[in-house]
Amino acid sequence: MNYRSLRAPAAEFVGTALFVLVGAGSAVANAAGALGVALANGIGLALVVTIMMPISGGHINPAVSFALWLGKQIDTLTLGRYVVAQLLGAIVGALFIKLLFPASAARMMSLGTPQVSGAIGFWAAVGLEALFTFFLVSAVYGTGVSAQRERVAGFAIGLVVVVCVLGGGVLTGAALNPARAFGPALVSWDWHAQAVYWLGPYSCSARSGAK
């Protein structure tokens, strides 16, 4: 394995760590309410995708990588490297939250681990996460694999996240991303409804990527 083969996974690692730090960190800070959390997640993802796209494609999400693999945009080895890098990056991002934020706030918010509201059931939550991820993957396929992707993809993908967090954040946290849920959950050891954030995004990715 040479330097070039590590460069793209390293970009996914750093990008996911930064996204989790900003996105989950905004939930822990909770200083600007739902709108602030939505903007932090959306703008944070938009910037990370834009920065990392020339290096790795700017996936920053195992479900996105899986959908692109099914669509034959990346090979199996790249998929494996990206997913491992994304999950490790999410853990590092959560560790930074634990180090940087007051212990009481971080503990109360489980380091920004997304939570399913008691107002909806398990499968309803899975369905919502699948729907939100469908919008995200559609934005990726609509812009992220186009000739103009470096100009428009980050903005479009970030905007989808803003809308989904505003529309469904109170119900599921609108993670749309297994890594975003996994990193904070592992570090805080809060596995509440963790399966929602894998079943929903991956089921949607399987349908979207196989088309």
Query: Can you read off the two tokens belonging to residue 8?
Result: 């793209």
Residue 23 has pLDDT above 60, yes or no: yes
Residue 77 has pLDDT above 90, yes or no: yes
Predicted pLDDT at 150:
64
Reduced to 3 states, what is the DSSP secondary structure of residue 149?
A: helix
* CB atoms closer than 10 angstroms to residue 93: 30
- What CA–CA distance (Å, rounded) separates 108 from 125? 22
Predicted pLDDT at 186:
97
pLDDT bucket at 20, cuts 50 / 70 / 90: very high
Spell out the residues 6+ positions from residue 26 whose beta carbon is closer than 8 angstroms to its own.
32, 36, 37, 40, 41, 44, 112
The CATH code that applies to domain 3-209 is 1.20.1080.10
Predicted pLDDT at 146:
58
* CB atoms closer than 10 angstroms to residue 155: 17
**DSSP symbol at 72:** T
- What CA–CA distance (Å, rounded) separates 97 from 159? 24
Q: How many CA atoms lie within 13 A of 155 on its CB side?
A: 5
Helix H or strand E encompassing 172: helix 149-172
- What CA–CA distance (Å, rounded) separates 173 from 193? 11
pTM of the model: 0.91
What angle do helix axes 196-209 and 178-188 make, rounded to 10 degrees? 160
Render pLDDT for 90-145 as a digit per residue (tens, 0 to 9).
999 999 999 999 888 888 889 999 999 999 999 999 999 999 999 999 888 887 56
